[in-house]
């Protein structure tokens, strides 16, 4: 961690404090910071460079840009008190937070627009990681009858499969068009135990502790904050309930961000295991259950854990 003197020198600038207040709660790109703060690109880049040199922020590459956040290295403990006072003293902080929420919503809307555009033809178009072998591996771990939440349900192919043995399936998706297509499919098949709900996986429209099983099938990598989605799964599960995640193994196919509106390029086994354990899940198990033979050779990762 950088010295306290260096940290204090860097955060003495009000604009750098505004940036830290934003990055404390959200990852943002330079372009997004420009939109929030109404500053030039070079000015923001200079501030970020100084904050990085002081060990206060870090970045990760995502597609054609970098996302910045407050660094988790101990410095955030020093910043907590400073930023609390800064939030009260800097007059722009309230408007900055409102502008940040609008910017993040634009990012979510872009992803939602993608799924609205492909609703009704998902089964005919290729989607990485949609492996029936992977699904079969997951189904072996189900113990019906139970109440199941299918998070990021899409058009509902998997929800309909689960409904054959489940007491009830709660299918949640962020795309209104997907909900429309999925609900129509449920009606056409005469299925009575599937309920479709419009909602974000990070703020599920489901009551606490009413679900036996939460299932993410190739949807977690679309979450802006996967750990929050997993926390939500913990919240809605009954004690003794189970979470099952099918997703992509971490890969380098950057084009997936544009082609499939992916927020994350899959997850490592240890990374996903850590997120589950941090949320409170026990007996976490992970395994790679499928590898596609054709380039870019996506692999499917299965993770399970108990509440």
Cα separation of 273 and 256, whole Å?
Answer: 23
Residue for token pair 């997004």: 32
CATH at residue 239: 3.40.50.150
Cα separation of 300 and 22, whole Å?
Answer: 34
Q: Do 185 and 265 belong together in one domain? A: yes
Q: What number is the average pLDDT over the span 204-221?
A: 96
Whether pTM exceeds 0.85: no
* 126 belongs to a structural domain: no
Res 74: pLDDT = 59
Question: How many other CB atoms sit within 10 Å of the CB of residue 1?
Answer: 15
Determine which of 63-67, 195-199, 204-208 has the lowest per-residue pLDDT on average: 63-67
Query: Is the pLDDT score of 140 beyond 60?
Result: no
Closest C-alpha to 185, from 165, 167, 171 = 171
pLDDT tens, 20-37? 999 988 999 999 999 999
CATH at residue 101: 1.10.10.10
Q: What number is the average pLDDT over the span 127-137?
A: 69
Cα separation of 96 and 78, whole Å?
Answer: 22
3-state secondary structure of 103: helix
Q: Do 278 and 248 belong together in one domain? A: yes
Q: Do 91 and 138 belong together in one domain? A: no
**Residue 58, domain extent:** 4-118
Q: How many CA atoms lie within 13 A of 71 on its CB side?
A: 17
Query: Is the pLDDT score of 10 beyond 90?
Result: no
Q: Do 109 and 158 belong together in one domain? A: no
Give how many domains the chain has, as a whole number. Answer: 2
């Amino acid at each position: 961690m950088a010295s306290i003197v260096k940290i204090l020198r860097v955060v003495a600038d009000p604009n750098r404090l505004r940036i830290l207040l934003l990055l404390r709660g959200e990852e943002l790109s330079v372009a997004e910071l420009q939109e929030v703060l109404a500053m030039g690109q070079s000015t923001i880049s200079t501030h970020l460079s100084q904050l990085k040199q002081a060990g206060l922020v870090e970045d990760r590459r995502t597609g054609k840009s970098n996302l910045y956040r407050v660094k988790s290295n101990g410095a955030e403990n020093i910043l907590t008190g400073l930023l609390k006072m800064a939030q009260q003293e800097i007059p722009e902080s309230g408007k900055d937070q409102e502008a940040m929420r609008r910017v993040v919503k634009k990012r979510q809307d872009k992803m939602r627009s993608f799924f609205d555009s492909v609703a009704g033809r998902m089964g005919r178009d290729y989607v990485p990681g949609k492996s029936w072998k992977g699904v079969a591996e997951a189904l072996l771990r189900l113990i019906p009858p139970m109440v199941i939440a299918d998070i990021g349900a899409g058009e509902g192919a998997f929800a309909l499969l689960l409904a054959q043995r489940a007491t009830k399936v709660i299918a949640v998706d962020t795309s209104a068009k997907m909900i429309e297509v999925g609900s129509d499919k449920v009606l056409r098949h005469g299925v009575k135990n599937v309920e479709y709900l419009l909602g974000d996986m990070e703020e599920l429209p489901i009551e606490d502790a009413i679900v036996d099983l939460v299932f993410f099938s190739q949807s977690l990598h679309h979450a802006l904050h996967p750990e929050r989605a997993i926390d939500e799964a913990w919240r809605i599960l009954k004690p003794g309930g189970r979470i099952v995640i099918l997703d992509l193994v971490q890969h380098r196919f950057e084009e997936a961000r544009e082609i499939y509106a992916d927020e994350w390029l899959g997850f490592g086994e240890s990374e996903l295991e850590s997120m589950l354990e941090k949320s409170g899940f026990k007996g976490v198990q992970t395994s790679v259950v499928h590898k596609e033979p054709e380039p870019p050779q996506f692999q499917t990762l299965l993770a399970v854990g108990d509440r």
